[in-house]
Each structure stands twice: as C-alpha cells, then as structure tokens.
Homo-oligomer: A and B are copies of this chain.
Amino acid sequence: MSNATTENHGPRAGIGLAVSTVIFALRAHPVSGRSVVSLPLVRRTRDPFEGRWALPGGWAEPGESLEVTAADTLVETTGVRPGYLEQLYCFGEVDRSPSGRVVSVVYWALVRAEEAATATVGENVRWFTADELPELAFDHNRIVEYALWRLRTKMEYSRIAHTLLGETFTLSELRQVYEAVLDRELDPANFRRQIESSGSLVPTGQRVTGGRHRPPRLYRYDTSAPLADNGPLTSPRQTTR
C-alpha cells in the first residue's frame, strides 16, 4: 500500500524500470509491395523469452532522462534520428515479466521511409509489418496494438503524417501516407479539400521535376505551430525539423 499521509522510507527494492520504443515507418510489404506501417524488433538472446522478438529497449539509466534513453535506443536500432518521439504509456502490471517486476515506460516514434529503408540494422534486428506480428516477448503485442491505435487516432486530428515523408512532398504522396496508416483508400478530391482547408500545408512554389506536362506541386507543412499539442509538456523534440 502506498501511504499518502505518512512518509515511506525509501524506494522499494525489486522493481526494475525499463524504457522501450515503438518505432514506426512506412515500408514496402515483403509480399504485396504496398506501403505498410512497419516497425523494427530485436530478437532476445537471453531469458526470459530467449529467441522471441521484442521492442527495442533496455533498462532506464540513472544519469539519463527517459526521453534521451528512448531516443538513443532508436538511433542504435535503426541508425536514424526520429522525426517524432513521444511518450506512449507506462506499463506497470504486476505479472508482465516472468523474471520479476518490470515497469516499462514506452515511447513511440515516427521515422521517414527512405531513412528507414537504408538504415543499417544488427543481425538480431528485423523490420516487421505492424499488423502481422508473431507472438512477441512480454506484453509487447499489446503495446504495439496500443501504439498503432494512437498513431491512427493522432493521424486523424494532428499533422504528424509528414514526419513519415521528406521535407517537401506532393498531395498524392501525403494521401498515400494516410492510406497506409489508416489502412483504407481515400478519395483524392476529398482528401485535397480537407488538407487544404486545414491550413496546415504551405505550397513551396515548386513542382516535382521530371518530363511530365504538368508535374505535381510540392508542399511542406507549416512549421510555425508546434507539432504535438502536449500543452505545457510540449518539448523541443516534438517540433518539426
């Protein structure tokens, strides 16, 4: 029992604090070739769950903020820096790990497709399609499921889609990101109207280079507003590049 009115005499021993990161990128599906939400997983090389795939992560470090630990994990796993990194949730059920009590602070991140495609990964790291995961270690299937829900919810009302794209992009490229994340086709004309009325896109005045008669216009996001509206907690990492 915690006690609200008398003091406890020190932290309880026996609780391990871990930091894990769900790293999403759009990558070509290995069979269909369609762009799908994907994430890198790490094969465990020791018990518990030796041989199973797990979210990249490790123990929290006494001298490092949780966010720095999460960002480092991401760089080490994928070789790229995140376009977006946010705390997802702190998972603290008693029986999450068979080898003792572990509380995991989980972050989620978005990285750009072309960066993710060229990222060098270790031999125990592999990219998986988010909707086609094997049985993972610990409660990591549930964590990915929740992260996917947050990604899809957030995509509908915020402007994080472009962190999966380059600096500039066409409306068609942006629509394909939404289609991949939401896993449904969107009407191009409706999509254009909604995006344009949101006021969040800025035309760059340039067009895609190439031999077409009327090459598509290039846009970028308006970076004058913060990327993630986390109120008083919005941090520099959550701003656009």
Contacts and interface: CB of A to CB of B under 8 A. Distances in A.
Interface string A15-49: 11111000000000000000000000010111000
Interface stretch (A64-72, A194-202, A213-221): A64-72
Interface residues of A, number: 62
Nearest to A150: B231
A17 B19 contact: no
A236 interface: no
A149 B230 CA distance: 9
Nearest to A121: B5
Given A76-B4, A231-B153, A63 B16 contact: no
B42 A66 contact: no
A116 interface: no
Nearest to A90: B90
9 contacts: A1-B72, A4-B42, A7-B45, A7-B46, A63-B101, A65-B94, A87-B89, A92-B105, A149-B232
